[in-house]
Amino acid sequence: MNGKQGLFVTGTDTGVGKTVIAGALVAALRAEGGNVGVWKPVQTGGLPGDGTTDAELLLKYTGMDSYAEDIASFTFEAPLAPMLAAKQAGLNITLQDILSAGESIRNRYDSVFIEGAGGVAVPITEDASTADLIAELQTSVLIVARSGLGTINHTLLTMEYLERRGISILGFILNDGLSGELCLDPSVETNGRIIEQYSGIPCLGHFPELAGEIDSKRLIHAVQATINLSPVRDALTIRKMEEYR
Ligand SMILES: Nc1ncnc2c1ncn2[C@@H]1O[C@H](COP(=O)(O)OP(=O)(O)OP(=O)(O)O)[C@@H](O)[C@H]1O
Ligand SMILES: C[C@H](N)[C@@H](CCCCCC(=O)O)NC(=O)O
Ligand SMILES: [Mg+2]
């Protein structure tokens, strides 16, 4: 990251809440005075400007003063792994293309959250996966996972995959917002502790379900109420606003 501080937000799957939670964490850190931005190296499954792409949602959630095309270096319409979506669009992008395209957004902020597409083993180019991109960027990782039954297996596998490449994992967040019936799932109460016990990696909290319209104010409140931000601030060497005074 060329001396810049970065944190890569990955997930145990696609659709686990990386955009919502990355947006929430960045919004909360910005509300404390941090000059924090976000970068989505490759996004698939939408068109720029259609209002549904991760870059547009991340702008809405964080209140960053940037353009969607600066936040998302490459956008492909097909809802596929980036390597396949690019191929379908007739492009063959390389890891170096992705790293170069993100240079300006990485340089614009003191710290940058980076959101992957799907999980760590997803092919993003012909010969590189998301884990390879993380290794190139030399950032540590935050894992977003579902909070219900099945997450122990998905989260421990994700951790082992990253650790085999020597990538350090800051922690994981369990997202309570993906199933309406979590109260009927007794594993939700114990999953965080069990994953911590088997991995030695800390759970930074359970992110709550946000019913209805998601906006920056609600996201900031959710983070403040449920997430331990200290390890994130430490990793990014961000000080809390009161420490600036
Ligand atoms: N805590 C939550 N409360 C309510 N809705 C949520 C919550 N977390 C995620 N969602 C919803 O679940 C869906 C998937 O979330 P999101 O887009 O953040 O996943 P993702 O991991 O970023 O997926 P991708 O791999 O496509 O980037 C979205 O519609 C999002 O609004
Ligand atoms: C289309 C999805 N929403 C996502 C790509 C997910 C790829 C998952 C591939 C897989 O694990 O099988 N795109 C994105 O995050 O930009
Ligand atoms: Mg996303």
Question: What ipTM was estimated for this complex?
Answer: 0.99
Report domain extents, the chain.
5-244
Judge contact between 130 and 120, C-beta under 8 A.
yes
Q: Is the CB of 175 under 6 A from ligand 1?
A: yes
Judge contact between 43 and 151, C-beta under 8 A.
no
Q: Beta partners for 143?
A: 10, 172
pLDDT at 179: 74
CA–centroid distance for 28 within its chain: 14
Section 197-205 average pLDDT: 98
pLDDT at 244: 42
Q: What is the DSSP letter of 238?
A: P
More confident residue, 1 or 121: 121
Q: State the Cα–Cα distance between residues 136 and 23, nearest whole angstrom.
A: 23
Which ligand places an atom closest to the C-alpha of 44?
Answer: 2
Q: Is the CB of 17 under 6 A from ligand 1?
A: yes
Please say if the pLDDT value at position 37 is more than 90: yes
Section 212-235 average pLDDT: 96
Q: Is the CB of 58 under 6 A from ligand 2?
A: no
Which ligand places an atom closest to the C-alpha of 81?
Answer: 2
User: Quick one: CATH architecture of 5-244?
Assistant: 3-Layer(aba) Sandwich (3.40)
What integer best gives the mean pLDDT of the chain?
94
47 by Cβ neighbours in 10 Å (0-12 / 13-18 / 19+) ranks as exposed
Q: What is the DSSP letter of 176?
A: G
How long, in residues, is the chain?
A: 245
Please say if the pLDDT value at position 148 is more than 80: yes
Q: How confident is the model at residue 212 (pLDDT cuts 50, 70, 90)?
A: very high
Q: State the Cα–Cα distance between residues 154 and 76, nearest whole angstrom.
A: 27
| Residues with a known catalytic role | 40
